[in-house]
Chains A and B, each alone.
Chain A
Amino acid sequence: MAEANAPTEPGSGQPKASKPPNAEPVSVEPAEPGIASRLASWLFSLPVVALAEVGMVFKLLWETILWGVRPPYRVWMIIAMCEFIGVESMTIVGLTGTSVGAVFGLQLVEGFRRLGAESQTGSVVSIALARELAPVFSALMISARAGSAMATEIGSMRVSNQIDALTTMSVSPVQYLVFPRVLAGLLMCPILALLFYFVGFSGAWFVAVKLYGLDSGIFIERMRWYVDRADLLQGLTKAAVFGVTLTIISCRQGFYASGGAAGVGLATNRAVVQSAVAILVLDYIVTTFFV
């Protein structure tokens, strides 16, 4: 059916050459594909689209690394981005951390009490926070707060030609816009994950010790007994990986945004959704390296 309205052959620079009327009888249009075949082609195109997207992100990451190692080094820009991604995310990460830690503590005290094992609450809370909850939750919160803002900002710059303006002034937009954000993500996400861990543990401690009367000494001592450096290292590695992931995905979405305000909205939407999916998938992959 594509042939029916195929564009006129470009020809050789003769745009005015009129096409002779088609002498052949008009071919019968094939019937509309059924719903089953449309569903099938949509399903088969999904992995292709996903792979193309992953490829695009890795290409931008590679360019970011190449441009990042070249001077000039805009230290003040990196500091500003660390403030934006790190310092300004402390409130939301702290709030989420306290809440997750408190609820987790509550559930565990309740659950372990049935087995008479509530003294293990401290160690289990701590291991879960250090390995999984702190890096994953803090990355999801940073993506929702900072990733979406980055995609919107860079996307608006794209659709109003500001990125082209940077290029024409021979400032690499990848070096100027993307690299400081990705580096700040790499540096700040582990720090925020640590913050999440500490406030989460404090929240669990408050619920278990102050509200449920567990012994504070046992709670903390069990944590020290069971949690070792490897657990923390696993969490920090994940946080660093997630930091790069969410910033590069958000930058990619903004950087290649098109289509005005609606396009920027779509880019922001995709940035958050793709970051969340990527964080959850990578969480499993990174964990396999540690177990």
Chain B
Amino acid sequence: MTDRAQKVDPNADPVHVAIRDLQKAYEDAPVLRGVTFDIFRGEINVIIGGSGAGKSVFTRQLLRLERPDKGQILVDGEDIAQLDDWKLVPFRKKFGMVFQFGALFDSMSVFDNVAFPLREHTKMSRKEIRDRVMERLATLNVAHAEKKLPAQISGGMQKRVAIARALVLEPQILVYDEPTSGLDPVSSRLVDELISETAANFGVTSVVITHDMASVFKIAHHVSMLYKGVIEESTTPELILKTKNPVVADFLKASGVNMG
């Protein structure tokens, strides 16, 4: 786990992914109306916003599960917004995704779920795969559940297995969709710690989509607020407390944040 530690190249462009004027509409109802902001390399970038702000739709465009109508997604300077499926393969390998409810393959055991990307994309031997998977599961404290099916373990454990699966190919960018939703406060803080540790240990760029303000101030290096399909503000957690933007201030107040 230390092989990638502190691997963030100090000479690399600090902006890992640049989103420029990203737009997406469904049947003429615009959801994203021109999203523009930067995702910083090796840091934890949190995107906040209420329900219906377009957070999930934005995630689907960022991972290119859908094709945006307009705009650019520049990953290390290369635009992936309109690439075809086969050309996306090398870029997809840079991304790891932790879905809201884990999205583990329910027909496979915990071990097979985490081994799946290795079996698909590497020529590692059975033993190498076993070692790597068990190491990841141990790091995330779920090694004892390796033989269980996803339905047989708790929601918090499913989330950790999902993180293990997303990490196993050592992606550069890890996207978390609502990582703490549906978890009790204690588990939520454990997941927060997990995200921070993962970012520090593996040097990955993290993108966390959430509406849990407690996590924001615990883990974020950068925070961007999505509101009605545009980014209202993109700044650091310290500066967002002094925001002049009424939309952002209202959201923070409603979330119980004590504005300075």
Contacts and interface: CB of A to CB of B under 8 A. Distances in A.
Interface string B83-100: 001001100110111011
B33 interface: yes
A15 B228 contact: yes
A172 interface: yes
Interface string B225-243: 0011110000000000000
Nearest to A10: B30
Contacts of B103: 160-162, 164-165
Contacts of B65: 164, 167-168
B29 A7 contact: yes
B101 interface: yes
B129 to A, nearest CB: 15
Interface string A109-120: 000000000000
B121 interface: yes
Contact of A165 (B85, B89, B99): B99
B29 A171 contact: no
Given A15-B33, A15-B229, A170 B97 contact: no
Interface residues of A, number: 19
B95 A160 contact: no
Interface in B104-121: 104-106, 116-117, 120-121
Contacts of B85: 172
B106 A160 contact: yes
B106 A169 contact: no
Given A10-B33, A13-B34, A15-B33, A170 B101 contact: no
Contacts of A10: 30, 33
13 contacts: A15-B228, A160-B103, A161-B99, A162-B103, A162-B104, A167-B65, A167-B92, A168-B95, A168-B96, A168-B97, A169-B92, A170-B89, A170-B93
Interface of B: 28-30, 33-34, 60, 63, 65, 85, 88-89, 92-93, 95-97, 99-101, 103-106, 116-117, 120-121, 169, 227-230, 247
Interface of A: 7, 10, 13, 15-16, 72, 156-157, 160-162, 164-165, 167-172
